[in-house]
């Protein structure tokens, strides 16, 4: 249970890190959508390892193949299955961890829940699981079209934070930074700091900010399936995420209502808008048509090259040193995953929105 996301645009993902393949089925994608393997590949390429010195050196091209649901360049309305074969498995790196629980990894909880786990490369808890999400997200983005723009970027790594960006950075700005931080000086500092942490066998966390522009008002379903609730679930489902805030978020708790309230007014086109957007684009669980803006906290990568105490599966004290290949900081590669999950939420809520009125 737990590997299906969405109510109409439903994504089932599958795959372990060192199994045969990873991927997804999208059930409920509307028909007549033009989509190519290349468009999906483009997003997968942003997520794939080995892009630069900051990421794991696992060498995967992550070539996707569409097995179904697309015919003559268009979606059929039938399930779309997308598969990526695993290639560069170094399973021998993981023999040791078969027998113990790496600190702050999911080894222990998989053992507790299921009584066994595929320990090779983290199995299902590996970041490779997110390939299915990114592939599905690429289809969702295509469905959203050019009117909806989802932009995520790294806002902070450890204590290094970029200035608040009021306008939305371009994809070019973001992609030109190896850290995916669209502020040149901050990006350079982050890069240096990540390399230093890596050299010391340590790891780092940080915050990703994401902005969704172009959504119509009214998306999201009160009371449980609020737009921000679905987003929160989507973001907390990403490996290593520890927090979510929408709009003013935790900072709102230190404001007065008279400061925080967003005043309604007409925009230049005579349409209703709000002068501020502390709401982060949602009121009462539904979008306001103002940008949806949220932040996601990621903890430092659990795998570190330092020796750590731990327990073996037989409850003996032992030590473990992170081998395998891993990112010292997941933030840069988490950017396309945040965008993909946001796209899934948008696609699903937009489809459900069609049923709101008679």
Q: What sections of 180-226 are H helices per DSSP?
A: 184-199
Rounded to an integer, what distance in angstroms lies between the CA atom of residue 159 and that of residue 94? 32
Report which of 287, 187, 300 is spatially closest to residue 247, judged by C-alpha positions. Answer: 287
Backbone angles phi, psi at 53, to 5 degrees: -65, -15
Q: Closer to a second copy by CB, 151 or 310: give it.
A: 310
Tokens for 226?
Answer: 């609020």
Whether residue 111 contacts residue 117, with contact meaning beta carbons closer than 8 Å, is answered with yes
Report which of 217, 275, 276 is spatially closest to residue 247, judged by C-alpha positions. Answer: 276
For residue 122, how many C-alpha atoms fall within 13 Å in the half-sphere facing its CB? 20
Whether residue 51 contacts residue 8, with contact meaning beta carbons closer than 8 Å, is answered with no
Tokens for 72?
Answer: 């003559």
């Amino acid at each position: 249970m737990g590997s299906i996301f969405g109510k109409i645009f439903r994504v089932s993902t599958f795959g372990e890190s060192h199994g045969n393949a990873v991927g997804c089925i999208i059930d409920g994608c509307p028909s007549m959508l033009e989509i190519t393997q290349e468009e999906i590949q483009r997003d997968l390429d942003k997520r794939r390892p080995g892009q630069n010195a900051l990421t794991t050196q696992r060498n995967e091209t992550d070539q996707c193949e569409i097995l179904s649901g697309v015919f003559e360049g268009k979606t059929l309305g039938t399930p779309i299955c997308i598969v990526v074969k695993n290639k560069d498995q170094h399973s021998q790196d993981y023999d040791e961890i078969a027998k113990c629980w790496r600190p702050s990894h999911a080894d222990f909880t998989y053992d507790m829940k299921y009584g066994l786990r595929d320990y090779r490369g983290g199995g299902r808890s590996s970041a490779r699981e997110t390939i299915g999400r990114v592939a599905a997200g690429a289809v969702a983005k295509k469905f959203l079209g050019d009117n909806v723009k989802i932009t995520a970027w790294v806002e902070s790594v450890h204590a290094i934070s970029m200035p608040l960006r009021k306008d939305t950075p371009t994809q070019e700005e973001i992609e030109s930074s190896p850290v995916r931080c669209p502020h040149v000086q901050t990006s350079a500092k982050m890069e240096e700091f990540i390399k230093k942490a890596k050299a010391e066998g340590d790891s780092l966390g940080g915050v990703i900010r994401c902005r969704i522009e172009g959504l119509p008002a009214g998306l999201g379903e009160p009371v449980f399936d609020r737009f921000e609730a679905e987003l929160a679930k989507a973001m907390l489902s990403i490996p290593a995420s520890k927090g979510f805030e929408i709009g003013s978020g935790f900072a709102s708790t230190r404001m007065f209502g008279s400061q925080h309230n967003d005043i309604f007014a007409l925009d230049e086109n005579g349409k209703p808008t709000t002068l501020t957007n502390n709401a982060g684009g949602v009121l009462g669980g539904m979008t306001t048509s103002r940008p949806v803006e949220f932040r996601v906290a990621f903890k430092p990568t659990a795998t570190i090259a330092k020796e750590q105490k731990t327990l073996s599966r037989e409850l003996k004290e032992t030590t473990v040193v992170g081998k395998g290949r891993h990112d010292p900081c997941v933030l840069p590669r988490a950017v396309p995953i945040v965008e993909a999950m946001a796209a899934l939420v948008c696609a699903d809520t937009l489809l459900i929105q069609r049923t709101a009125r008679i």
